[in-house]
Amino acid sequence: MAQDLTIRLTRSTDYDQILKLSEGIYDGHHYLPRRYHTWMAMENMHVMLAFSGDKLVSLVACSIIDEGKTIVTRAGRTSPNFRGQGNYKLLHRALLDFSTKRYPMIQKWRFMSTLAPEMLDNRYENNDEKDFLTCMVLSSNKRPQELSLNVDSLEIQSCTKEYVCDVIFQKEVGKFFPNKVIQADRFPIEPFRSNIDYLMQENDSLYFAVEKCVDGCHPRSFSLGVRSHYVKFMNWCVTIYSNDPQLYQAHLFHQFKRSCEEIKSEFSFVCSHDQKFTRGGIKLLKELLMLQSDEDIKLKKAFVYEQKLPQVFCHL
């Protein structure tokens, strides 16, 4: 049973309690404490808290995106002593109620989870899924000037936000994003210019890349790299879209090299892609980082779920 809680939107003075609530989460591989003040200054971003007396016991954050039509859960925390009692469910429902009243255009709720579809009921539509490879890049591993990759002379190059919005999002949506969802550092968005602008408000850097094309030809691959501050490390998260294994490897190599050039300290490198590329991704990362074991690269699968509103109930 959920306990008697005081639920309200966050204030800047809550930061110290939020830090304490986040202690030990994911061994420092998360961004909430580093991104909190940025979120506080952003429109369409809300953090709601639950207190038992004066003690912060639960938190949930959401973004309103897709031109005001979607609410996306971004982060959640519950104190260990208050888990399994329905407190997070109650808090999340309060945030959904607040959001749908404040933003009447909202049509659906979207969230990411490591739970497979068979673990959830049919209220939730599985709209996308990706494998994630995570590894640490130490100073001794970084050799950007020495790295080379021979993949039939495939050349990957950076592209502008304007190219992404005017070409990738307008002409290639069906090819790259059949379900119209992009995963950008675990943030599932639809291919809108406004969503890219939203990403640029809260992240250090976005890096877009496509393969070099002859004039008049359309790209067959696309990758999005996001550089951000986590609690203990810098992080570079790349999502690669392609059906070609050689283009996938070329993008992975290109994004890895770019991350080593931009981040001078040690950092975590995350690659998100279709599961058919996972084995090749592990092999290439082992070569790039001179690793001896697959155990140095962590593999996880993440699913994107959606539910139409207002018939929405929080998952646990």
Q: What is the pLDDT of residues 145-166, one digit of tens each?
A: 566 666 545 899 999 999 999 9
CATH 3.50.50.60 fits 6-106, yes or no: no
Q: Would you say residue 30 has pLDDT above 60?
A: yes
Q: Which CATH number fits domain 129-304: 3.30.110, 3.40.630, 3.40.50, 3.30.1360?
A: 3.40.630
Q: For position 315, what pLDDT does the model report?
A: 46
Count of CB atoms situated within 10 Å of the CB of 194: 15
User: At 231, which amino acid appears?
Assistant: V
Q: How confident is the model at residue 130 (pLDDT cuts 50, 70, 90)?
A: very high
Tell me what the mean pLDDT of segment 189-205 comes to.
93
Residues 56-95: b if buried by 16+ CB within 10 A, e if exposed: bbbbbbbbbbbeeebbbbbbbbbbeebeebebbbbbbbbb
Q: 203 pLDDT exceeds 90?
A: no
Residue 232 confidence class, pLDDT cut points 50, 70, 90: confident
Mean pLDDT, the chain, as a whole number?
89
Interval 39-68 mean pLDDT: 95
Residue 46 CA: distances (Å) to CA of 9, 37, 87, 120, 207: 7, 12, 18, 26, 26
- State the pLDDT at residue 310: 67
For residue 182, give the nearest of 134, 127, 230, 221 by alpha carbon: 127
Q: What is the pLDDT of residues 207-217, one digit of tens each?
A: 999 999 877 78
Q: How far apart are CA 298 and CA 302, in angstroms?
A: 13
Report the predicted TM-score, pTM, of the whole model to 2 decimal places.
Answer: 0.91
Report the C-alpha gap between 88 and 27 in whole angstroms: 21
Indicate the domain borders of the chain: 6-106, 129-304
**Confidence class of residue 314 from pLDDT cuts 50, 70 and 90?**
very low
258-299 residue pLDDT tens: 999 999 899 999 999 999 999 999 999 999 998 988 899 999
